[in-house]
Structure formats: C-alpha cells, structure tokens
Amino acid sequence: MDSKFTGKAYIYTKEIEKANGEKTVIYSTSLSKKQIDGSFDRGYIGVQFKKGVVIPNKAEIDIKNGWLTFYKKDNQTVPIIFISEYELPQEEQEEDSNLPF
C-alpha cells in the first residue's frame, strides 16, 4: 500500500519530560469526520519530521511530501505521518528569523 500526504495542516507541539529528566517534543495534527447529525468527531495522529526540525505550536504548514508510517509501543502498532518536505507560511518564517539564537 502506498500513502502520500500533501496539503495544509495545523501542527500541534507538546513538550514532554522523559523518565530520565530529558525533555523531548512530540508533534501531532488533527483529523475530523462529520457525523450523521452534522457534528464533527475529532481525533489526533502523531507527526514526525526529519531530525533537527522545530515547528512552533499551532503552526499551519503546507505539506509537500509526507507518508504514513508507524512505530511499536508495548507491542502495539502506532501509526504516524512522517513529513519530509513542507513550507511554513511567510509570516511564521519571519517570526523565527527574529529569534536571538
């Protein structure tokens, strides 16, 4: 099976602390589907980027190339979207360029 993801998506960022005290960032995006009564059901799926990529919380990105992959946790398969190419809107790129580090 082949999967390809493109288009705009909001990326949510969450910083978590591991048992050893080390902090790591996890990313996700939301999925929604319309119910028969017209309401929407929302879920989230993990997102992964190339090593070293930093995305601000609630950033809207334009995915140019991504695919469905997975990792194993407690003998369970956890699907995630790996995004290898994307663009940030110009405004967010300018904000990031003003960082002092």
Range of the domain at 57: 5-96
Query: What mean pLDDT is predicted for residues 2-9?
Result: 92
**What pLDDT digit, counting tens, does each position of 7-65 carry?**
999 999 999 998 888 888 999 999 999 999 999 999 999 999 999 999 999 999 999 99
Residue 31 lies in a domain: yes
CATH number, residue 92: 2.40.50
**Is residue 92 included in any domain, yes or no?**
yes
Q: Is residue 62 in some structural domain?
A: yes
**Domains held by the chain: number:** 1
Read off the pLDDT of residues 55-98 as tens digits, 9 standing for 90 and up: 999 999 999 999 999 999 999 999 999 999 999 976 554 555 55
Distance set, CA 32 to CA 1, 35, 53, 90, 99 (Å): 23, 10, 26, 27, 34
With respect to residue 101, please indicate whether it lies within any of the assigned structural domains. Answer: no
pTM of structure: 0.78
